[in-house]
Amino acid sequence: MFKTLAQILSENWQWRHQIWDLAKIDLVKTYRGAALGKVWLFTKPTVYILVYWFTLSVGMRAGSTINGEPFLLWLAAGVFPWFFMSDAINTGSDVYRRYPYLVNRIKFPLSVISTFYTLSLLIIFAATMAITTLICVLLGVHISRYILQLPLVMVVMFVFWTAWSIALSPLSAISKDFANLVKTLSTPFFWLSGVLFQLSSLPPLGQHIMAFNPVAWCAEAVRCCFIYKKWFWTRPDELIPFLIVFLVVVLVALRNYRRLSKEVPDVL
């Protein structure tokens, strides 16, 4: 395991310049040929947030201030991270099929593919967090010192979802059924992870179970920066289960990378 971890870290360090370049290329490919260009990277999540806000706050009259902050801000602080995680779950878990020409290059390390793809998602995520901060300003919300932990939260999310990609991509490359299963589960992840409802509304048992949901933890960690105004490490009842899941994902990633990475080029 430690040998595989050292190999992955070494690969990413040696290819660090290419990782950044490939991440930028991936972003360019996303909006290439569109007249509005980069605007489309933020249009979808913004439209979804406005639709959810209108439906929940106006239509169903369920929206209200949460912890003294506007419901729209609470929604943005959960939905923007979800779009980062949604792409990581769907495409990130099957990233080798997205870049088969890199997989079949003999000297190109497969772990780098997961890294630069997640990095491209992180760049967009960082921009949406800037938009969320702008929403705070427009709504007259006080930006507290707890926003200083946001870069750390983003780094933790980047490492976790990169490990997620390394863990599942070999399985998805070998079995399309597994890839389809992961994509099918992404919708339940969204509706059951507290992105659109407060986890505190669940019974105690439900809250304990949800603590092992990485999507729920990531959304709540971002909301700690804007809404709950707490340091995320001061909530051990949520942090410890997430760290357990984090460790499991890393161990699975190391195991699958060691055993299956050489088989992936032959399959694709």
Confirm if 261 and 170 have CB atoms less than 8 A apart: yes
* Three-state DSSP string of the chain: CHHHHHHHHHHHHHCHHHHHHHHHHHHHHHHCCCCCHHHHHHHHHHHHHHHHHHHHHHHCCCCCCECCECHHHHHHHHHHHHHHHHHHHHCHHHHHHHCHHHHCCCCCCHHHHHHHHHHHHHHHHHHHHHHHHHHHHHHCCCCCHHHHHHHHHHHHHHHHHHHHHHHHHHHHHHCHHHHHHHHHHHHHHHHCCCCCCCHHHCCHHHHHHHCCCHHHHHHHHHHHHHHHCCCHHHCHHHHHHHHHHHHHHHHHHHHHHHHHCCCHHHHC
CA distance 167 to 154: 20
Helix axes 214-223, 150-174, angle to 10 degrees: 160
Confirm if 208 and 129 have CB atoms less than 8 A apart: no
Instruction: Give the pLDDT score at 147.
Output: 93
Say which residues have a Cβ less than 8 Å from residue 79's Cβ, sequence separation at least 6: 45, 48, 49, 52, 195
Confirm if 18 and 112 have CB atoms less than 8 A apart: yes
Instruction: Give the pLDDT score at 217.
Output: 94
Cα–Cα nearest to 84, from 157, 24, 135: 157
Instruction: Give the pLDDT score at 59.
Output: 47
| pLDDT, mean of each 10-residue run, the chain (268 residues) | 83 86 79 54 67 59 71 86 91 87 79 92 90 84 90 96 93 85 83 83 86 92 92 91 95 89 73
Instruction: Give the pLDDT score at 60.
Output: 45
Instruction: Give the pLDDT score at 159.
Output: 96
Confirm if 41 and 138 have CB atoms less than 8 A apart: no
pTM, two decimal places: 0.88
Sign of the C-alpha dihedral computed for residues 73, 78, 81 and 86 taken in this order: negative
